[in-house]
Chains A and B, each alone.
Chain A
Amino acid sequence: MNITWFKNFNNIGLLALLAVFIALPSVLSIGYLNIAITTLHWMFLCSAYSFVMVAGLFCLMSSVFYGIGAYVPALLWNYFQVNIYVGMIAGVIVAAIIAVAIGWLLFRTKIPPLTFGTCTLALTFVAEYIVQSTGSIASEGMVVRYTGSDPFNFQFDDKLTWYYIALAMVVGIYFLSKYLLNSKAGLYWGTVDENERLAEASGVNTMKWKLIVMALSAGLLSIAGTFMLRYQMFIAPSIVGPSPVIQMVLLTVIGGVGSIWGPLVGAGIFVPIGELIRIRLAQFTGLNLMVFGFAVVFVLYTLRNGLYPFFKDIVGRLINRHEKQASASL
């Protein structure tokens, strides 16, 4: 990050955006701060989810990993007083193991992506039933034990701290995506997406790379689950059900699959809209879902690739026209 990095227009833009986000809480009331935290949380979720989309896997069981990240630390903390950070690591490990196991089971049958998608979606339903049927406190909605503000146990009372943690998570996953997608791993995932048979024939171990991306996505989602656990202090079984993952898919698709900014844009625009609708127009239950639905149908009908490539295209054209005018006037 030497001086030339700063001179790059893109990077200045990034820094400016980061500055805006850092300064944002000072102008937001507590209600809007809540919405901002939820937005950042969903930006993280969609980015974590989009890793598997990059590799061409239409994996719809992300809710299960998200829920594991919430339930494992919660159960360990409530019943065994295990530190939440340790619980978080345990959640990541459990999620990664399940991701690899299910991935291995389903990948070796060589089913088409659509069947893979429906099977993983079915697994979220199964997970929800299993959680609901345990008959323990987890089955109806679990409240996490609260023992006061404790940074070493991932418990903060101050909303502001949660905002900056969420922001740090989004920044972290942005740089992680940027690094991974431009590295050898990104190339391998790209080839698996393009043409899996050709990749296999070229010597890429597709099974290994698909399992790696599943485990990576699962681990990140699990971390997000622990964040949500501590932020909300309450988990319901629906977290492992189909709703979160469908929302992740829809937001990622609206923003544009395959780019790093796509999920961030999709979540960044539509989560605030959805939350505002949910809070202001609370008498119309489900209106925010309808808005998401309309957005997806509209985007896929007209823009095909998503909002972010569309914006990029427009901005690029404006810049080109500006440059052309500038050079024409010389």
Chain B
Amino acid sequence: MNNGDPGHTRPLPMADLEHLDDPGLVAALCGGNGAALAEVYRRYGGAVWAVAQRVCRRPDLAEEVCQVVFTDLWSHPDRYDPERGTLRAWLVTRGRGRAVDAVRSEASRRRREDREARLAPAGAGVSADVEAAVDTAGLGDAVRRALAGLPGHQREAVMLTYFGGHTFREAARMLGAPEGTVKSRIRLALGTLRRELVAEGLAP
């Protein structure tokens, strides 16, 4: 079916779109099949929304993130490479990245406004950020169990970076740990989480 030549992709009946695997669906997108984008949204819209909502913690920002992810996919479906993983994982990665950018832009805008209004920045700073990022509320039960099963340092490292949007250097400062150690903790955490979530049937 995927003869590798997007110029020859024909429109497919919707019933066939549902049975396409991810690469086939993206090939249909490359051929300009609008129904294929709807099918991608049907499959993975909830996943993109979930990560955007989690990172942004604001529906308006999360919505904007989702719109960007899907419009980008429509404009540049060739950016997805099946060798790099599933379409779901790719879209969630894009969503998480956009969400972190959105939160940072929003925070900058607010700080500018606060400075302009001559409001003193709240002293919440580092510790509030750690707490908010490490909070597992809102995640699925099995996911929370898997995260709770991690050593605290590993959980903090992965959540501060992935959900909190911090670089490993920032995380190292926030946690008072060496930079190399933070990276190792992230690696160990991902390994443990993977085993747990695959056992739960939540990850492929």
A binds B: no
Give me the interface of A with B, judged by CB distance under 8 Å: none
